[in-house]
């Protein structure tokens, strides 16, 4: 490993997405003597320069008309061209929605082994060895690229973003050689979930399942979420029943989340639900059935009726947070 | 419209996973294998497009003799043809993609449809990888879409919202749950599917780019403090969240 490129994305005018900071930190942890360059296709100077706070001093931003509206195909092409121009051998990116579309394309363009959904990385004598969950998290595999290049996509929110220094990164530009055919797919609009914290981005999630008995009882979940400054999540059973919107679904069909605290209320813990949340740092479960599978993965569990436990829990948490 | 639907056979979602003697794969005995659940949406979407635009739907899988079972399911649901690239040892996802792309090149489909991910390796990389090999645009995890004058407009969930994307045909998409309600094959169709031909396609012997060095069952490092519902017990959990886990 000689040169690592980290693909970064802006969150707003002054910062990058947390998943980008995670990728920068992860790159540093395995770099050894290798050089690290951050690469972006969008972002203000102020936002891109914050890569420096995470220990990466050099940022390259690709400039081209065909990159002005987001296109996964044009982004992958620009990134591959840059990697080749500097003979980079390793590309690290978040395995978020965009990373999942770009990374497989990079693998083909660079004939690079792809390691998706990684939860740990290790520098094993100069090549990256990664661990990742398979079979809905029921097993873990160790994988490494055996070609000259590796593409490493990180499961979002698993790696901690650690600040290192406070210097602004220096920013230079790169002009890729793009043609219309490279921008075959384009994003035409983005509808943000206004006002609500998204489960995929939240540090704490409070989720409700069928044990909540009906949509009219979700204000109890929302109340607890607001106390903890958390996002509201849901099991598929309640999304399918129309009690909650699709965007809140956690699990194999929904979103994969790794918050620092996941609170499961009236959720049985079916394997497809666990697939989406078992890499949470801490799990608190409230369920009236002491044999519910969710308790097998829980750090903390309260065996009881959600309608009795949650108001007490909420009051105790408020008292704790205000003391 | 000619549609290629790529499907895979996976362990039943509730299967108990054990690591086999080689330390790199799962113990297959006693496991029930099923059609990857997301691929049902892909097949259904192919059939609905044929109903709307005409053309043919071909189902393809890369796998061993036993994978023919899922092709029978696809035939029972109504696909016109089924093919299998037979490989007893799949090297890695790149190798699977090469085999799919190789076949796709021979039939030049207008659309290639995948399920959003196969629930064994959960990589979600197959659709963009095959698209790249075919030099086509792709949209992953599509939850609703429309085709008008060969232009696709599709919606997909991303972190914090929804993206609307557009590309033109030919292209590759991967299907998310909610795209449709897959039909259940009827008994006479299941019976008929048993005797339909399945084309066997020679595999291309590529080389792997990734090596899987070991597989283990994850050890649970959970605290495991499970208490009752008295006020004092609930308070003890709140204290632990603060002092032990330090998450609040
Ligand atoms: C291919 C596939 C993909 C899937 N993807 C997902 C996915 O992404 N996400 C997902 O969540 N599921 C998914 N599922 C569905 C999954 O198998 C379960 O059906 C679902 O997770 C169950 O949701 P639940 O826990 O809310 O409901 P249930 O399993 O019905 O559990 C309800 C729980 O609430 C408890 N309870 C009831 N009343 C109370 C009370 N008053 N107080 C306290 N506890 C109470 C019960 O003891 C029970 O444990 C998928 C399934 C398949 C086949």
pLDDT at A290: 97
Summary mean pLDDT of chain A:
96
What is the assigned CATH class of domain A204-322? Answer: alpha beta
Query: Which chain B residues have a beta carbon less than 8 Å from that of A143?
Result: 210-213
- Residue nearest atom 23 of ligand 1, based on CA coordinates: A237
Q: Which residues numbered 38-77 in A keep a CB inside 8 Å of some CB on B? A: 72-73, 76
How many Cα atoms sit within 13 Å of B178 on the Cβ side?
21
Structural contact between residues B10 and B118, judged by C-beta atoms closer than 8 angstroms: yes
Q: Which residues numbered 180-219 in A keep a CB inside 8 Å of some CB on B? A: 181, 184-193, 198, 200-201, 204
Q: Which two tokens stand for residue A38?
A: 């951050």
B223:A97 CB<8 A: no
pLDDT at B131: 98
pLDDT at B207: 82
Which among B110, B9, B95 is positioned nearest to B58, based on CA atoms?
B110
Which among B170, B198, B186, B171 is positioned nearest to B72, based on CA atoms?
B198
> Which parts of chain A fold into alpha helices (H)?
18-31, 45-49, 72-85, 97-110, 218-228, 236-240, 271-277, 294-297, 306-322
State the closest ligand 1 atom to the C-alpha of A268, by its place in the atom list counted from 1: 49
Alpha-carbon gap, residue B140 to B172, rounded angstroms: 8
- CB burial class (10 A; 0-12, 13-18, 19+) of residue B107? middle
Q: Mind listing the pLDDT tens digit for each residue in A85-98? A: 999 999 999 999 99
| Identity of the residue in B124, B168, B229 whose CB atom sits nearest the CB atom of A308 | B229
Alpha-carbon gap, residue A264 to B246, rounded angstroms: 18
Beta bridge partners of A36: A4
Task: Please report, for residues A282, B55, B237, B238, B241, the alpha-carbon distance to residue B244 in angstroms, rounded to integers and kept in the order given.
Answer: 11, 62, 10, 10, 6
B237:A246 CB<8 A: no
CA angle B115/B120/B123 to nearest 5° reads 60
A198:B143 CB<8 A: no
Residue of A nearest to B233 (CA): A302
Which among B64, B105, B101, B69 is positioned nearest to B85, based on CA atoms?
B64
d(CA A208, ligand 1 centre) in Å? 9
Q: Which of A270, A301, A308 to mutate to test the pocket of ligand 1 (most atoms within 8 A of CB)?
A: A270
pLDDT values of chain B reduced to their tens digit, one per residue, 248 residues? 999 999 999 999 889 999 999 999 999 999 999 999 999 999 999 999 999 999 999 999 999 999 999 999 999 999 999 999 998 777 899 999 999 999 999 999 999 999 999 999 999 999 999 999 999 999 999 999 999 999 999 999 999 899 999 999 999 999 999 899 999 999 999 999 999 999 999 998 788 999 999 999 998 789 999 999 999 999 999 999 999 999 99
Q: How many CB pairs under 8 A join A and B?
A: 262
For chain B, list the domains and their CATH numbers. Answer: 2-202 (3.40.50.620), 218-248 (no CATH)
3-class state of residue A54 by DSSP: strand
Select the CATH number that applies to the domain covering A3-183 from these four: 2.60.120.620, 1.10.10.10, 3.40.50.620, 1.10.4190.10. Answer: 3.40.50.620
Confidence of residue A283 (pLDDT cuts 50, 70, 90): very high
Which among A136, A141, A296 is positioned nearest to B16, based on CA atoms?
A136
How far, in whole angstroms, is CA A90 from its chain's centroid?
19
A282:B241 CB<8 A: yes
Segment A30-47 shows an average pLDDT of 97
CA angle B70/B73/B77 to nearest 5° reads 145
pLDDT at A120: 97
Alpha-carbon gap, residue A226 to A240, rounded angstroms: 24
Q: Which of A236, A243, A276, A283 to mutate to test the pocket of ligand 1 (most atoms within 8 A of CB)?
A: A236
Query: Which chain A residues have a beta carbon less than 8 Å from that of B138?
Result: 72-73, 101, 185
For testing the chain A interface, which of B20, B23, B95, B160 should be mutated: the one with the most A CBs within 10 Å? B160
Q: How far is B176 from chain A (nearest CA, A)?
A: 8
Structural contact between residues A115 and A152, judged by C-beta atoms closer than 8 angstroms: yes
Q: Is the dihedral of CA A139, A107, A65, A18 positive or negative?
A: positive
Q: For ligand 1, which residues put their CB under 6 angstroms from it? A: A 209-211, 235-238, 249-254, 266-268, 270, 272-273, 276, 287-289, 292, 305-307; B 13, 37
Structural contact between residues A300 and A322, judged by C-beta atoms closer than 8 angstroms: no
Q: What percent of chain A has pLDDT over 90?
A: 95
What residues does CATH 3.40.50.620 cover in chain A?
3-183
B158:A228 CB<8 A: no
- CB burial class (10 A; 0-12, 13-18, 19+) of residue B39? buried
Alpha-carbon gap, residue A200 to A187, rounded angstroms: 20
Alpha-carbon gap, residue B116 to B100, rounded angstroms: 16
CB under 8 Å to A170, separation ≥6 — which residues? A57, A58, A59
Q: What is the DSSP letter of B137?
A: -
Which of A96-105, A158-167, B95-104 is predicted least confidently?
A158-167
Q: What is the largest CA-CA distance in chain A?
A: 63
pLDDT at B220: 75
Alpha-carbon gap, residue A309 to B228, rounded angstroms: 10
How far, in whole angstroms, is CA B155 from its chain's centroid?
19
pLDDT at A166 over 90: no
What residues does CATH 3.40.50.1220 cover in chain A?
204-322
For testing the chain A interface, which of B164, B241, B242, B243 should be mutated: the one with the most A CBs within 10 Å? B241
pTM of the model: 0.93
Q: What is the DSSP letter of A55?
A: T
Structural contact between residues A142 and B214, judged by C-beta atoms closer than 8 angstroms: yes
Task: Please report, for residues A213, B20, B178, B244, the alpha-carbon distance to residue B27 in angstroms, rounded to integers and kept in the order given.
Answer: 39, 4, 32, 38
Alpha-carbon gap, residue A2 to A253, rounded angstroms: 38
Alpha-carbon gap, residue B229 to A306, rounded angstroms: 10
Rg (CA), chain A: 21
Alpha-carbon gap, residue B180 to B172, rounded angstroms: 17
Q: Mind listing the pLDDT tens digit for each residue in A226-274? A: 999 999 999 999 999 999 998 999 999 999 999 999 999 999 999 999 9
Q: Which residues numbered 92-151 in A keep a CB inside 8 Å of some CB on B? A: 96-98, 100-105, 107-109, 111-117, 129, 133-147
Q: Which of A221, A254, A255, A273 to mutate to test the pocket of ligand 1 (most atoms within 8 A of CB)?
A: A273
């Amino acid at each position: 490993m000689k040169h690592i490129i980290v693909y970064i994305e802006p969150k707003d005018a002054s910062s990058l997405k947390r998943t980008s900071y995670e990728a920068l930190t992860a790159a540093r942890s395995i770099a050894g003597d290798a050089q690290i360059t951050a690469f972006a296709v969008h972002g203000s100077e102020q936002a891109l320069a914050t890569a420096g706070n995470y220990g990466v001093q050099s940022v390259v931003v690709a400039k081209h008309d065909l990159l002005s509206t987001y296109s996964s195909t044009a982004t992958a092409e620009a990134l591959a061209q840059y990697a080749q121009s500097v003979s980079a051998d390793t590309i690290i990116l978040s395995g978020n929605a965009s990373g999942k579309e770009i990374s497989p394309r990079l693998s083909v363009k660079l004939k690079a082994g792809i390691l998706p959904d990684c939860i740990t990385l290790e520098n094993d004598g100069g090549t990256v060895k990664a661990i990742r969950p398979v079979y809905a998290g029921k097993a873990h595999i160790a994988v490494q690229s055996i070609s000259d290049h590796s593409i490493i996509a990180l499961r979002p929110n698993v790696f901690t973003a650690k600040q290192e220094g406070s210097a602004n990164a220096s920013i230079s530009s790169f002009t890729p050689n793009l043609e219309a055919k490279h921008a075959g797919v384009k994003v035409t609009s983005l509808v943000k979930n206004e006002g609500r914290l998204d489960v995929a981005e939240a540090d704490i999630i409070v989720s409700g399942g069928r044990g909540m008995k009906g949509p009219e009882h979700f204000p109890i979940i929302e109340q607890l979420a607001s106390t903890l400054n958390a996002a509201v999540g849901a099991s598929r059973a309640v999304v399918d029943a129309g009690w909650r919107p699709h965007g809140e679904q956690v699990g194999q069909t929904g979103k994969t989340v790794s918050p620092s605290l996941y609170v499961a209320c009236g959720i049985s813990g079916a394997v497809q639900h666990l697939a989406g949340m078992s890499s949470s740092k801490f799990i608190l479960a409230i369920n009236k059935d002491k044999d519910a599978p969710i308790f097998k993965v829980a750090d903390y569990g309260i065996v009881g009726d959600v309608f009795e436990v949650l108001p007490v829990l909420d009051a105790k948490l408020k008292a704790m947070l205000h003391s | 419209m000619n549609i290629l639907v790529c499907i895979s056979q996976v362990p039943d979602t509730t299967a108990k996973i054990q690591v086999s003697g080689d330390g790199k794969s799962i113990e297959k005995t006693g496991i029930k294998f099923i059609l990857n659940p997301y691929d049902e949406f892909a097949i259904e979407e192919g059939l609905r497009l044929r109903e709307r635009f005409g053309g043919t739907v071909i189902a393809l899988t890369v796998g061993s003799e036993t994978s023919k079972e899922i092709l029978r399911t696809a035939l029972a649901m109504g696909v016109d043809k089924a093919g299998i690239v037979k490989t007893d040892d799949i090297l890695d996802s790149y190798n699977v993609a090469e085999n799919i792309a190789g076949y796709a090149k021979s039939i030049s489909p207008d659309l290639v449809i995948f399920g959003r991910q196969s629930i064994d390796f959960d990589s979600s990389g197959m659709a963009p990888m095959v698209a790249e090999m075919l030099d086509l645009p792709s949209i992953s995890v599509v939850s609703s879409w429309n085709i008008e004058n060969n232009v696709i407009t599709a919606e997909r969930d991303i972190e914090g919202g929804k993206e609307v994307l557009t590309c033109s045909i030919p292209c590759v998409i991967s299907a998310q749950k909610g795209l449709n309600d897959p039909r259940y094959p009827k008994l006479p169709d299941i019976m008929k599917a048993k005797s339909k031909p399945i084309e066997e396609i020679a595999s291309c012997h590529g080389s792997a780019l990734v090596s899987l060095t070991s597989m283990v069952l994850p050890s649970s490092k959970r605290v495991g403090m499970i208490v009752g519902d008295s006020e004092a017990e609930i308070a003890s959990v709140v204290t632990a969240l603060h002092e032990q886990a330090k998450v609040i």
